[in-house]
Amino acid sequence: MEKKTAAQIEAEKKQLKDSYELCKKSFEEFKADKPEDLPKYFQLMTDMYEAKAAMEQKNFDAQIDEIKAAAEEAKEAKAEEIKSIQEQLKISIGAIELLDVRVKGIRAAKSAPQPERKTFGELYTDAISEAFETRQDEFKAFQKDRNAKFSLELKTVGNMLLSSNLTGDGVASYNQRQGIVPSQKMNFRDLMPTTSSPTGLYVTYRETGTEGEIGVQTEGSAKSQIDYDLTEVKVVSDYISGFARFSKQMMYQLPFLTGTLQRMLLRDFYKKENSTFFTAVSGGATGSTTAVTGLTNNDAEQLLGFITNQLSANFNASYALVSFGQWARLLATKPSDYSVPGGMIIDSVGNIRIAGVPVIGAAWVTDDKVLIVDADYLERVETESLRIDFSYDDADNFTKNLVTARVECFEDVNLLRTDAMIYGDFGNVS
């Protein structure tokens, strides 16, 4: 139901009062001289009392009080709004003055004497102060009336020129494409599945040996027995992490810093993660690197031989990782040196496949080496996902107005079978 205004309530109150007075007048003027007049007499009396009851039953005073209370509440809300506006004006003026101080500090004042002048911040502050002084009555009315509007039109205080009102350089604009060191083109974590370990201790079982084999049972003979040896392997996650500190002033003066800093932290995190994982996987690889007879003429044939060993051991060759230097040496293989049809395929953008196996170049692979992986037996174990946190609560950051940015991930890499990985050497680098 729509709430009535005080004026509407007063009008309704007057209408009921007028109705009562009319009924009362009609009753008092009527004379019941005859018995047959009594019904009309009693009807007029009933109408009078009903009109009186309708008038008295309306709790007009309570409604008026409610409206007054709402008006007081609105007044208080308006006061809070005005207070907020005043605070925002103070902040704006302070920010402009701070900007002026920073502009002054960019470069020392010129050695030649200069005429006395006001800064932009001073001119702006003076104009606002003068406007408030001359229009106090309007502002007071604005404070009292919630629906009122108040605006300041600053009068012209003179032309503000770079030459006359600004010391030092102007406000700088920053290139959002920062000249930072580039990131890795590919990360090792992108080439393996991820599993979760809530405790940080991840336990798997690795097959280490087999005795006996499945055989054909001849009539009356015993069945073959197989004995499998399993070893418990514990993968303990470690933090790969780092942090950087910078001042709050730097953060405010260089708004792009937080975004750029995150990119730099991620770049260096992946650099360390890639090298850590590659060292762990290549160091644990036990797959056969024995040369395959007839496949030793060049690097492409050597790589084909490693892939052959992987397949011969009943593992898949999901991909082969090489350095970009080795990737270039493979691309430089001449058709006269290596012309096995379909054995080596190079597409228009330099992607290499040997026997259908992708050969991936990566900056974090040791040159002249190759790591062949069966992705079914390699996984990244994650306890806490990769994150970047910003905090003032570090060391003496609070007293020095410093901010710490931290990047970290609680993780490790797990080789489910070491013989599912081959770490080979092409022999080009002594």
pLDDT in tens, 199-241: 999 999 988 888 999 999 999 999 999 999 999 999 999 999 9
Kindly state whether residues 245 and 158 are assigned to the same domain: no
Strand partners, 245: 404
pLDDT of residue 292: 92
Instruction: Find the domain containing 70 and state its range.
Output: 64-107+116-165
Long-range CB contacts (< 8 A, 24+ apart) of 62-66?
63/4, 63/9, 64/6, 64/9
Does residue 76 have a pLDDT over 90?
Answer: no
Determine, yes or no, domain membership for 312. yes
Residues 54 and 74 in one domain: no
Query: 194 and 96 in one domain?
Result: no
Q: Are residues 85 and 126 in the same domain?
A: yes
Residues 51 and 143 in one domain: no
149 with 273, same domain? no
Q: Phi, psi at residue 32, to the nearest 5°?
A: -95, 85
Instruction: Specify whether 139 is located in the same domain as 196.
Output: no
Would you say residue 196 has pLDDT above 70? yes
Q: How far apart are CA 269 and CA 410, in angstroms?
A: 12
**What is the number of structural domains in the chain?**
3
Residue 247 token pair: 């001042």
| 8 A C-beta contact, residue 285 and residue 416 | no
Q: Looking at the structure, tell me whether residues 152 and 261 fall in a common domain.
A: no
- Among the residue ranges 274-278, 326-330, 344-348, the one predicted with the least confidence is 344-348
Q: Are residues 29 and 161 in the same domain?
A: no
Residue 49 lies in a domain: yes
Which percentage of the chain shows pLDDT scores above 70? 65
| pLDDT on residue 12 | 77
Exposed / middle / buried, residue 350 (Cβ in 10 Å: 0-12, 13-18, 19+): exposed
Does residue 331 lie within any of the structural domains?
Answer: yes
- Do both 157 and 29 map to the same domain? no
